[in-house]
């Protein structure tokens, strides 16, 4: 009964970042008048067309090959990757379909995707690492660190009460269901601040210093992309490094992850090495570009700015590297990244009223937890992709990503989860040797503009 409820919670959080891009689409549709130009996609796998598969064969892969191929055909998605680790060793790594359908570029097990809200796990690791180094106290008010921002005259004085802990656990006081997600308010913020679009995270913070909170900080939890935008700036101020470089140098490098970086989103030609091409669903409305003189564009290229989302949803990476991150956090591969006390805080139930009604699950300090403290997960969705990452109490860590989205993102998220759970079944033997050595994380330079 508990497990039947879990996907509903996963659904809520995996689609949060994607809504930033959808906001641009909705604004475009509302303001354009008449019919809205739409995307037209081919049928990627008509009839009996097989889905190409790449990656090492191993005991138990057939269930994944069958399940993921059926998923791609059902949703008309060009490609996916899957990685499964067991007790810190990579036992399955597969690529399905196409990273770029038009050029027939096959998906590889280590192809890279936008990971959306899984970026929050990296941001929380950076904050908690600074805590372990004695450089930050989680109960510090964030404005005492980010002194360059001040609550606007007549603004909500409760903003001064928001702590780093509040930001990590989504209890800062913003409720997107009531007032929307400010990370997508490019037009409003650019007009109010008299700056060009697209706006970046510091611009959003400046604007929000004059906006009212939806609830008193620390009294309940409501998922907030904006809170993690602030945390990225806290990391910069405390560390003295740009957010991306600090995470790469002090978090990912310690996890033997070197390829991950903040993505680009403006043009297809800007994608990084190993990065896939992103596809909207057939019939998706085109969006007004955030960039000057571009008119209507696919929402996944120009309809949003991924750099705005850096610390809340801006990273790109592979499913293999995401399992590297999780197995470093749980200590099964490299030893625990965090101290024992901080690990306890990371997964602890804050025991606050939250947006989830099932009390068997909760959000810790950057991760969803439940139905027991040994099961952690996060998900991400951003224009053109969906991703999920889980570590279960049986020692398995898995991740799946696809390079398209859907007009029914909730059901697609449930299908991703169900496909992985059904293929994993009671367990997976997988490769007898650790596949991490076959899929090294290449040392790619940071890509921030």
* CATH level 2 (architecture), domain 124-245: 3-Layer(aba) Sandwich (3.40)
**CB-based burial label for 283 (10 Å; 0-12, 13-18, 19+):** exposed
| Model pLDDT, residue 329 | 97
What pTM was estimated for this model as a whole? Answer: 0.94
Instruction: State the distance between the two ends of the chain, measured CA to CA, in whole angstroms.
Output: 47
* 177 phi, psi to nearest 5 deg: -70, -25
Closest CA to 313 of 137, 174, 113, 165: 113
Residue 244 to residue 272: CA distance in whole angstroms = 16
The pair of three-digit structure tokens given for residue 296, joined into one six-digit string: 């209507």
Q: Is the dihedral of CA 215, 221, 222, 223 positive or negative?
A: positive
Query: 23-78, pLDDT tens digit by residue?
Result: 443 333 334 444 578 889 999 999 999 999 999 999 999 999 999 999 999 999 99
DSSP 437: G
**CB-based burial label for 115 (10 Å; 0-12, 13-18, 19+):** buried
Contacts 24+ apart (CB under 8 A), 55-59: 55/92, 55/93, 55/94, 55/95, 55/108, 55/109, 56/93, 56/431, 56/435, 56/438, 58/91, 58/92, 58/429, 58/430, 58/431, 58/432, 59/428, 59/429, 59/430, 59/431
| Model pLDDT, residue 14 | 39
Q: E strand or H helix at 113, and its extent?
A: strand 113-114
Residue 439 to residue 300: CA distance in whole angstroms = 28
| Model pLDDT, residue 30 | 36
CA angle 116, 129, 249 (to 5 degrees): 70
Pairing of strands 385-391, 376-382: antiparallel
Strand partners, 382: 385
Tell me the CA distances in angstroms from 438 to 23, 106, 287, 322, one per residue in order.
40, 18, 40, 16
Residue 236 to residue 230: CA distance in whole angstroms = 10
pLDDT lower than 70: segments of the chain: 1-35, 447-449
| Fold of the CATH domain 2-118+256-281+308-438 | Beta-lactamase (3.40.710)
Segments of the chain assigned to CATH 3.40.710.10 = 124-245
The pair of three-digit structure tokens given for residue 123, joined into one six-digit string: 């941001």
| Model pLDDT, residue 445 | 85
| Model pLDDT, residue 34 | 47
CA angle 378, 382, 387 (to 5 degrees): 40
**CB-based burial label for 130 (10 Å; 0-12, 13-18, 19+):** buried
DSSP 115: -
| Model pLDDT, residue 2 | 26
């Amino acid at each position: 009964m508990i497990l039947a409820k879990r996907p509903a919670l996963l659904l809520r959080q995996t689609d949060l970042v994607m809504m930033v891009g959808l906001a641009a689409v909705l604004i475009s549709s509302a303001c354009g008048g008449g019919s809205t130009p739409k995307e037209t996609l081919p049928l990627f796998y008509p009839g009996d067309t097989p889905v190409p598969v790449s990656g090492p064969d191993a005991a138990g892969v057939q269930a994944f090959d069958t399940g993921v191929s059926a998923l791609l055909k059902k949703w008309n998605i060009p490609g996916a990757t899957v990685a499964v680790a067991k007790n810190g060793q990579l036992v399955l790594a597969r690529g399905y379909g196409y990273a770029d359908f038009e050029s027939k570029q096959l998906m590889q097990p280590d192809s890279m995707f936008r990971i959306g809200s899984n970026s929050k796990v990296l941001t929380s690791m950076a904050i908690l690492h600074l805590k372990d180094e004695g450089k930050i106290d989680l109960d510090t008010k964030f404005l005492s660190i980010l002194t360059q921002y001040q609550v606007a005259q007549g603004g909500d004085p409760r903003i001064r009460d928001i702590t780093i802990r509040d930001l990590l656990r989504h209890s800062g006081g913003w409720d997107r269901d009531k007032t929307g997600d400010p990370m997508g308010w490019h037009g409003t913020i650019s007009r109010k601040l008299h700056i060009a679009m697209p706006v970046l995270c510091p611009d959003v913070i400046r604007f929000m210093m004059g906006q009212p909170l939806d609830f008193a900080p620390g009294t309940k939890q409501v998922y907030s992309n904006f809170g993690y935008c602030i945390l990225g700036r806290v990391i910069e101020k405390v560390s003295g490094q740009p957010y991306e470089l600090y995470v790469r140098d002090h978090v990912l490098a310690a996890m033997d992850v070197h390829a991950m970086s903040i993505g680009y989103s403006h043009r297809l030609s800007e994608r990084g090495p190993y990065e896939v091409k992103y596809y909207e669903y057939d019939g998706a409305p085109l969006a007004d570009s955030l960039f000057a003189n571009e008119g209507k564009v696919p929402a996944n290229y120009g309809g949003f700015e991924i750099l705005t989302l850096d610390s809340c949803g801006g990273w790109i990476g592979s499913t293999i590297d995401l399992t590297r991150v999780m197995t470093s956090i749980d200590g099964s591969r490299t030893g625990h990244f965090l101290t024992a006390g901080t690990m306890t805080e990371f997964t602890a139930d804050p025991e606050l009223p939250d947006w989830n009604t099932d009390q068997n699950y909760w959000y810790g300090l950057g991760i969803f937890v439940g139905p027991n403290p040994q099961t952690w997960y996060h998900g991400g969705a951003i224009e053109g992709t969906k991703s999920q990452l889980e570590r279960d109490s049986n020692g398995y860590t898995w991740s799946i990503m696809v390079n398209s989205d859907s007009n029914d993102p909730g059901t697609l998220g449930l299908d991703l989860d169900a496909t992985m759970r059904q293929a994993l079944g009671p367990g997976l033997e997988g490769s007898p040797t650790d596949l991490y050595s076959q899929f090294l994380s290449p040392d790619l330079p940071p890509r921030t503009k």
